Structures are given as structure tokens and as C-alpha cells.
Amino acid sequence: MITLYGIGDIFEGGHGETKDLRVQWALEEVGLGYRFHALDQTAGDLDSEEYARISPFHQVPVIDDDGFVLAESAAILLYVAEKAGRLIPTDVQGRTLVMQWCFAAVSTVAPTLQCIETIEIFDHEKTATKVLHETRKLAERWFGGVERRLEGREWIACPEFTVADIAMASVLRTIRKTDLMDPFPRIKSYYDRCYARPAWRRTLTLAAERLGMTVDQLR
């Protein structure tokens, strides 16, 4: 059975934003049995030596599948899909396209969005306006590519929903409260399509129960 190490509590503002949710979403999609091991970041659970044995960077998510330990959310998504034989095609080219779009999500789009988020959280004095401007331009460039990719497509990698959609939608979710997606109608409807899935709704409900919050507070 898979154990998913994720967040039971975290600093203010981190609730519902953590990358364990994308893994739980995939597990809910494929129907593999799993248990959730909730860690309290505020109590230092992630800093312990015991946790360092399974998490190279003291972070979540990590899974332990009967002794097979894996970190990095994109790698875990691919593993869950491979293990379940779902959310990834069987042919090598289809599988590689899923990998391409998982990488695009976490290594091209995510760092730029993370940078915008960091500036917006910490730059109270608004001294980083130039950096913010340039970073938003970069985000628009990535979004332009995603928008083109979605022309005539329902899902990002393949004709059917795959873990690449979970990766991409999860990365886009980090800027859902900004105006960045507004000029990109295909991305906006893709985003809504992804988040209308019942497995995501279950994931959010489970996260809300875990964190002692309401689904609306996490949405």
C-alpha cells in the first residue's frame, strides 16, 4: 500500500497550496489504495533526521510504496500512473509526451510562477517592480506556448486526461488569484475542465478535513 507523506499543518498561507495535493489527486483519479501520513510543518516534522531519510530536501510530497521511497511530485505522478496503468498511454511516444508536459509544467512554467508568487508575498515595499515586470513577461511567454498547445485539444499531452494535466493544472493553480490567465481563454477553460474533475473535488474535501478548514477556504 502507498503511504503519501503530506501536510497536516503548515504556516499561514500555505494551506491548500502544497504539492502533496497533486499526488493525492492522482491517487484519487486512479483508485489505488493509499494512506495519508500527515506532517505538521509548524511543529518541525519535516526537519527531523527521521524524515530526512526519505526526503532529500525535507519537503513533501514523498511516497513510500511498501519500501520503495520516492520524492519529487512530478516523478511521483508518473510512478502512480505507471503503477496503476492509468492516466498515461501505453505506447512509448504517448508516454514520452506525458513526460514532456510534466517537465514543461514543473521545470519551465512553475519556476517563473513561483518567482512571481515570492515577489508578491515578500516585496511589501514594492522595490522589485522591474523583476516582477520581467518575470510576468516570461510567464506570458510560457502561457502563450500552453495556449497554442491547447488549440483544438482538450488535454495537454494526449487526447485523454493524463498525469501531465494534473502537473500543469497544479502549477497553474498557484496563480489562480492573479490576472495572469485572463488573456488566455483556452488556458482558462482548460483550468476549469481540470478542476471540475470529481477526483480533485474529493482531494480538496480530504485536504479541508485534514487542515480543519472549509473547502471554500482552500479553493
Ligand X SMILES: N[C@@H](CCC(=O)N[C@@H](CS)C(=O)NCC(=O)O)C(=O)O
Residue closest to ligand X (Cβ) = 59
**Alpha-carbon distance 160 to 74, whole Å?**
18
12 vs 151, beta carbon nearer ligand X: 12
Residue 6 in contact with residue 36, Cβ under 8 Å? Answer: yes
CB of 139 to ligand X, least distance (A): 18
CB of 82 to ligand X, least distance (A): 17
**Alpha-carbon distance 3 to 64, whole Å?**
5
CB of 152 to ligand X, least distance (A): 30
At 172, the amino acid letter reads L
CB of 197 to ligand X, least distance (A): 20
51 vs 195, beta carbon nearer ligand X: 51
Residue whose entry in the numeric block shows the C-alpha cell 510560457: 142
Which residues of the chain form contacts with ligand X (CB under 6 A)?
18-19, 41, 46, 58-61, 72-73, 106
75 vs 215, beta carbon nearer ligand X: 75
Nearest one of 197, 175, 203, 198 to 187, comparing CA atoms: 175
The rounded radius of gyration (Å) of the Cα atoms in the chain is 17
106 vs 156, beta carbon nearer ligand X: 106
